[in-house]
A and B are shown apart, each in its own frame.
Chain A
């Protein structure tokens, strides 16, 4: 299993943000995206997840391979923790949720409504959701926001186990979680410059 991104360019709100992004990810590897705010981390992750089209370049990966976890956890406030997990499990055709419950010590919370969870507890549930997807490539956008040190460690363990099992992870984060197999990709190298913008046909002097 391998994922390769070649010469990928992406745009946010019609403005090119990144261009020429290339990397490869083998089974068991993780890639951490770094860069200042606004560089286009979220845009790149959403492009790779297939939520928005790339303006140039390509992403090659096996079909049905991505599980995406964005800024929002996608939890339903009116459902309990267990119902939320079971729902996503059945969307991905899985039955077993015990691994997800175990990874973040969610057992005491199972019957609580997601509405009554704290921000950190919601995030734990949102991250545990990836364990019921059965997908090899996990994409995280700022996963450790509102997690305390203990849960950040649990998260790192969860990702490490996933990598050891042959999975892959791609994440945008600022903190160093001590993942064993992680490489770092600095996105400032790929910042789109004005030449990318100059291809806008409305900037032609004749207009």
Chain B
């Protein structure tokens, strides 16, 4: 298959619930994520850059049983027990102190001066990347490359500064591993204020167009609990390392000649509509040259945010916790 195949020759193969096998970014956020400025000012939404958690296939009804979620603590919310450091490592006190200084200037606004999370960045003491790092083998490349799509800039820093940051982060993590509680902690026990019977009533009235307790959501509570479950319930956000970042949204584009192409929504703004077809090829068109319809299963989640009372929210969570 040619990489240069023009959009008009894309196959018509129907896309079979592509979101069931891929995690992704909600479509309306894809553009924003792609162009996210580093560190994203004060104005960034946690929806874009906040902690993410494993994504499971409960978005659509009639889904096949999902595979067990990968063991993925990276950027996980504070209610998940943080992974312990894999390789013991020690650093000179002077290097740790130097790292504290560099970290304060370059990293602390987003990640907090103590590495336990700031206005927009996740708690690094609970990061899988940090836990699996051995003397900077993962942190250093991460710093240098950045994670632009998550709002983290690429840093141009002297090697000594990078090494000092690594030393400081590991020192903070070691301290966190031996302490209890946490500044941003939300424990599953904190969230037990709902009524599961009322929650089931709400669920059956509001959620069953897309979801089924015995179908896509069967066993949900065995996979998720606490804050990660609450956040997934309110609005399913993508996994931290979702690649490529396609959400469950699909798009059907009709070309002027009448040809129709469908695929995963890859990008959308006022001027451009883009998709990835069933074979993985990217396509894009000016919005004024084609007609298109986007199917966004997450729109119902956004609409629900307008309707939930806090009690509804806790009730539905209580009900979802019974789906074991």
Task: Tell whether A pairs with B.
Answer: no
Residues of A within 8 A of B (CB): none
Residues of B within 8 A of A (CB): none
